[in-house]
């Protein structure tokens, strides 16, 4: 599917961050940074986070006021029926879609708040129209499936990370609701959640190999991280046990089937995340693994309290802070290819080599000796050095 935003400019955002990082680390001079940035221009309108948030709120208020006024004055009698509501919502959705495309093409917006708001409202109106056409009588898992199918083309066109999170939530929610329709569903629920998490994670890995540009990188990271989280939660003993009690309307949780297996997942999964994160230098897997370790400790303490809560929090917090300080100091100088500082990776193939060969040699050489010009093929080996 054709992408809505200028893909080269999106890649250049990432590349300019690399250039800025090099400048901050004194690898290149200010003149070299300026020259390098010219090689990777960005034409988007990108306000700061506060203006972006304000534009998002303002756009939503403007849409609500406009459509609310039109609905009350012109379409009040039509929207009283489901079909009428569906038609009006569809008209609104199409109108906002073309407005979104106009702003992206002519105003050069890129996640500026306005385009985000237009995108989310457009999707919401389109889903409302589809649901209204079905007279709101489909099974719940049917609505999850519709949302999943509607989200996909919008994600492919706009690459929005929050939409990626929405897709993953709907993906997991679909299987969760579907399993509740079967008597065996509650029993196999944890294993299915873990399985669909693996499927999503493997799919994103394949997607990255197929499209390694920066356009989808944020969306891919969101889905990958979400898959790691749901895989762990699907096998966590506390989540499974308390979830089983909730689904079966039990006043208190009871021991679950395959309890030793879930003990195993609760302990091994965080350790596997940490190991693989270190081995593959995967920052997000390390972060998720660290949080999973903390939640696994909480899971154990929830059922087997050893220390009072105050002492447990104090000891645990002190240990984690101490470990963080030790690791930061140890990795201040990169070791084994790892550092506590996050480094940007280029989404251009051989970007750094290109930057060095095309841009950096143009500055900073001063009056240093220049090789070439000798009598033997320009090697500087002759008497005319």
Please give the pLDDT value at position 333.
Answer: 67
How far from 65 is each of 27, 69, 73, 119, CA to CA, in Å? Answer: 52, 6, 12, 17
Give the number of other CB atoms < 10 A from CB of residue 128. 17
Q: Considering Cα of 366, then 368, then 369, then 372, what sign does the dihedral take?
A: negative
Please give the pLDDT value at position 339.
Answer: 60
Please give the pLDDT value at position 199.
Answer: 96
**Rounded CA gap, 115 and 20, in Å?**
27
pLDDT per residue, tens digit, the chain (385 aa), is 789 998 988 988 888 888 888 888 777 888 888 888 888 888 888 888 999 999 999 999 999 998 888 877 777 777 778 888 899 999 999 999 999 999 999 999 999 999 999 999 999 999 999 999 998 888 999 999 999 999 999 999 999 999 999 999 999 999 999 999 998 988 899 999 999 999 999 999 999 988 877 899 999 999 999 999 999 999 999 999 999 899 888 888 888 888 899 999 999 999 999 899 888 888 889 889 989 988 998 888 888 776 666 676 677 778 777 877 876 776 666 655 566 555 555 444 455 555 555 555 544 444 433 334 444 444 444 444 3
Helix, strand, or coil (residue 217): helix
Query: Is 292:266 a contact under the CB 8 Å cutoff?
Result: no
- Residues 6 or more apart whose CB falls under 8 angstroms from that of 221 comprise 161, 284
Please give the pLDDT value at position 347.
Answer: 46
Half-sphere exposure at residue 385, Cβ-oriented, CA atoms within 13 angstroms? 6
**Rounded CA gap, 176 and 146, in Å?**
15
Give the number of other CB atoms < 10 A from CB of residue 97. 18
Please give the pLDDT value at position 341.
Answer: 59
Query: How many angstroms separate the most distant Cα atoms in the chain?
Result: 96
Please give the pLDDT value at position 352.
Answer: 56
Please give the pLDDT value at position 372.
Answer: 43
**Rounded CA gap, 236 and 232, in Å?**
6
- pTM reported for the whole predicted model: 0.82
- Taking Cα atoms as reference points, which of 221, 204, 212 lies closest to residue 7? 212
φ and ψ at residue 366, rounded to 5 degrees: 60, -135
Please calculate the CA angle 320-325-326 and round it to the nearest 5 degrees. Answer: 95
**Rounded CA gap, 283 and 278, in Å?**
8
Please give the pLDDT value at position 337.
Answer: 59
Torsion, Cα 233 239 240 244, to 10 degrees, reads -140
Q: Considering Cα of 69, then 73, then 75, then 81, what sign does the dihedral take?
A: positive
Query: Is 31:364 a contact under the CB 8 Å cutoff?
Result: yes
Gyration radius of the chain over CA positions: 27
């Amino acid at each position: 599917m054709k992408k809505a935003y200028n893909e080269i400019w999106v890649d250049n955002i990432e590349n300019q961050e690399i250039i800025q990082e090099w400048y901050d680390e004194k690898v290149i001079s200010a003149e070299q940074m300026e020259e390098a940035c010219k090689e990777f221009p960005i034409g988007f309108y990108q306000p700061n986070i506060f203006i972006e948030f304000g534009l998002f709120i303002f756009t939503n208020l403007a849409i609500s006021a406009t459509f609310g006024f039109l609905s009350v004055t012109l379409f009040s009698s039509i929207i009283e029926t489901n079909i009428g509501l569906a038609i009006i919502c569809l008209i609104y959705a199409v109108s906002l879609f073309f407005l979104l495309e106009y702003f992206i093409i002519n105003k050069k917006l890129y996640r500026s708040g306005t385009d985000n708001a237009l995108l989310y409202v457009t999707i919401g109106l389109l889903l409302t129209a589809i649901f209204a056409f079905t007279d709101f009588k489909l099974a719940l898992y049917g609505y999850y499936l519709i949302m999943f199918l509607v989200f996909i083309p919008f994600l492919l066109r706009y690459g929005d990370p929050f939409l990626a999170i929405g897709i993953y939530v709907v993906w997991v929610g679909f299987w969760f609701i579907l399993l509740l329709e079967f008597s065996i569903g509650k029993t196999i629920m944890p294993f299915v959640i873990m399985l669909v998490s693996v499927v999503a994670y493997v799919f994103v890995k394949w997607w990255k190999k197929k499209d390694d540009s920066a356009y989808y990188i944020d969306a891919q990271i969101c889905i990958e991280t979400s898959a790691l989280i749901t895989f762990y939660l699907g096998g966590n003993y506390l989540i499974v046990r308390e979830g089983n009690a909730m689904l079966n309307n039990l006043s208190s949780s009871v021991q679950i089937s395959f309890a030793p297996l879930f003990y195993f997942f609760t302990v091994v999964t965080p350790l596997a995340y940490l190991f693989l994160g270190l081995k593959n230098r995967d920052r997000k897997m390390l972060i998720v693994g660290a949080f999973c370790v903390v939640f696994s400790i909480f899971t154990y303490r929830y059922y087997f309290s050893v220390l009072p809560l105050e002492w447990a929090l104090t000891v645990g917090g002190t240990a984690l802070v101490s470990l963080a300080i030790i690791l930061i100091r140890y990795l201040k100088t990169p070791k084994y290819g790892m550092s506590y500082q996050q480094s940007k990776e280029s989404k251009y193939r051989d970007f750094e080599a290109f930057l060095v060969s095309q841009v950096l040699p143009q500055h900073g050489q001063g009056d240093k000796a220049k090789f070439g010009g000798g009598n033997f093929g320009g090697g500087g080996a002759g008497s005319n050095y």
